[in-house]
Amino acid sequence: MNISPRTRWIGMIVGLLSLSVGVNLYVLFKFAGSPSETLEENWEQRSENWNAIQLQNTINRQLGWKASIQGWDTSQEPARVRLQLQDAEDKPLLDADVSYYMFHRAHPDVVYRGKAPMSTMGTYDWDIPSPKEGYWEIRIELTHAGQAFTQTWQEYFQPPTAGPTQ
């Protein structure tokens, strides 16, 4: 069977285009049902309000408040996340209204949200059941004395290792 060079080239081009379409369709259908599409909740609204988000970031810097995760207490079930809040003079921020939203970066369907009550001077805690190991994105919004403050960061959680069995 003798195939002309012209037919061979046309066949290769059609074959490569078909392969490209096939791979793209596979990827589209394979990942269309992935929960990772929920990684950024309300992304349309956040993009429309980009200027307001940047203004809030400027206000955050002007306030000088500090928020930091002090650790994950896994000595109990559920685990407890501990947040430390300080004002611009490094004094504890008391009686703030703190909301949190957190999700696992590799499992975005694992989402926790709620209010964090103050447990001690400037420390706010909340519980999450059986946190998965890995990176978590944590977002807080707080209001204190009529001022709003937000912060987002990534925290790596590694569950404690079990001791030797006897």
CATH number at residue 94: 2.60.40.1940
In a domain, 128, yes or no: yes
pLDDT at 70: 87
Q: Does residue 85 contact residue 122 with C-beta atoms inside 8 Å?
A: yes
pLDDT (0 to 100) of residue 76: 77
CB 37 within 8 A of CB 43: no
Any domain includes 141: yes
Instruction: Report the pLDDT averaged over residues 85-97.
Output: 94
CA distances from 8 to 2, 3, 4, 17, 21 (A): 10, 7, 6, 14, 20
List the structure tokens of 36.
């990772």
Please check whether residue 53 lies inside any domain of the structure.
yes
Query: Tens of pLDDT along 20-40?
Result: 999 999 888 877 665 555 456
100 occurs within a structural domain: yes
Q: Is 131 inside a domain boundary?
A: yes
* pLDDT at residue 161, rounded to an integer: 62
Quick one: which of 134, 140, 68, 129 has its CA closest to 105? 134
Average model confidence (pLDDT) across the chain: 86
In a domain, 9, yes or no: no
* Each residue's pLDDT tens digit, 99-110: 999 988 888 788
- Give the number of domains in the chain: 1
Cα–Cα distance, 18 to 135 (Å, whole number): 39
50 within a domain of the structure (yes/no): yes
Q: What is the span of the domain harbouring residue 61?
A: 39-157
Q: Which two tokens stand for residue 10?
A: 């046309």
The closest of 115, 158, 121, 161 to 140, measured between CA atoms, is 115
The answer to whether the pTM exceeds 0.75 is: no
Point out which residues pair with 115 in neighbouring strands: 99
Examine residue 114 and state whether it is found in any structural domain, yes or no: yes
